[in-house]
Each structure stands twice: as structure tokens, then as C-alpha cells.
């Protein structure tokens, strides 16, 4: 049995400890907001947080989450009120949308560590998240917008 917390909810699962966390989230816990992209930590679509740090869930065994707090896109906020989610909607960032949950999870770590990021900080933090639709300019714009919301007290 493996015990950890997902989006502040404790879970206890009888799964092979070597199972990728992504499959446990999607298949065992029905949290399908996190996507499978490349399966080798190259694209960022599967990004979630373990204890607040970005992790590619396609290559992280579920055993890595033992006793820890996992956050997925579903847990970023309960009601789409996270500044990043609001900024994403305001800037109409997604095109096909497939990579966007990973983009948001990476951006959340960036803003926690650098609340007022420069373009360079954004490019640096987001380089590992690929968007085949090429929404990068809107992603950058939305991150700046979210940073402004957070500095104005908009973060929950």
C-alpha cells in the first residue's frame, strides 16, 4: 500500500510502487487533467507538484510520492480562482489545450519563487514545457498578468 495526499485529500492505494505517478493519477484516481505527452520527461505535459516542486509524473514512480503532497491541475484551486487560471482565461492562452495543465503547474512554481518574473525568468522556467500550437507569447503574457494579480493581493 502506498499512502500520500492528492490535492489535500489523503489516498491509500494498492498499486505497484514502480507505476508512473501519472497513471495512478489518471487511472486510479480519475484525475485526467494531467496529460500524457512523451513519456520520457521531454515535453512537460504531465507536470504536477510533489511537495510544491514541479515533477514530470510520466517518469516519477508513484513510490516517490509516498507520504508527500501531490498537487495536480485540479488542485491548483477549487474554483479556477488561482491568478494563473484567471490570467490564462483572460489572455485566452490555450489553442488545442493539451499541454496547458503542465504549463500552468510549471508557471505556479515559477511565481512562488519569483513573484515578479522577467521575460528571461519566464523563458527559463517554461523551456521544458513544449506547446506544439506555439502559444508561448500568450503564456508569457498571462504569467506577467498573474504576477500583477498576485502582487495586488489576488492570490488565494
Binding stretches for another protein (CB under 8 A):
40-41, 47, 53-56, 59-61, 64, 105-107, 109-110, 113-114, 121, 123-129
Nearer to another protein, 6 or 122 (CB): 122
Q: How many CB atoms lie within 10 A of CB 11?
A: 16
Closest CB to another protein among residues 29, 130? 130
66: cell is 509516498
Please report how close the Cβ of residue 79 comes to another protein at its closest, in angstroms.
24
Cβ-based nearer residue to another protein, 79 or 120: 120
In the complex with another protein, the residue whose CB is nearer, 128 or 154, is 128
Instruction: State the nearest-atom distance from the C-beta of 84 to another protein, in Å.
Output: 12
Contacts of 153 (CB under 8 A, 6+ apart): none
The closest alpha carbon to 104, from 21, 39, 33, belongs to 33
Amino acid at each position: 500500500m502506498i499512502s500520500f495526499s492528492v490535492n489535500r485529500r489523503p489516498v491509500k492505494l494498492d498499486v505497484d510502487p514502480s507505476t508512473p505517478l501519472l497513471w495512478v493519477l489518471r487511472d486510479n484516481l480519475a484525475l485526467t487533467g494531467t496529460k500524457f505527452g512523451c513519456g520520457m520527461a521531454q515535453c512537460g505535459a504531465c507536470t504536477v507538484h510533489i511537495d510544491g516542486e514541479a515533477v514530470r509524473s510520466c517518469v516519477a514512480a508513484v513510490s516517490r510520492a509516498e507520504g508527500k503532497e501531490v498537487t495536480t491541475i485540479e488542485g491548483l484551486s477549487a474554483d479556477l480562482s488561482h491568478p494563473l487560471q484567471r490570467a490564462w482565461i483572460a489572455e485566452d492562452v490555450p489553442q488545442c489545450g493539451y499541454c496547458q495543465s503542465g504549463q500552468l503547474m510549471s508557471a505556479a512554481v515559477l511565481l512562488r519563487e519569483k513573484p515578479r518574473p522577467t521575460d528571461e525568468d519566464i523563458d527559463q522556467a517554461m523551456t521544458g514545457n513544449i506547446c506544439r500550437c506555439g502559444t508561448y507569447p500568450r503564456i508569457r503574457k498571462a504569467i506577467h498578468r498573474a504576477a500583477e494579480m498576485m502582487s495586488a493581493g489576488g492570490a488565494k
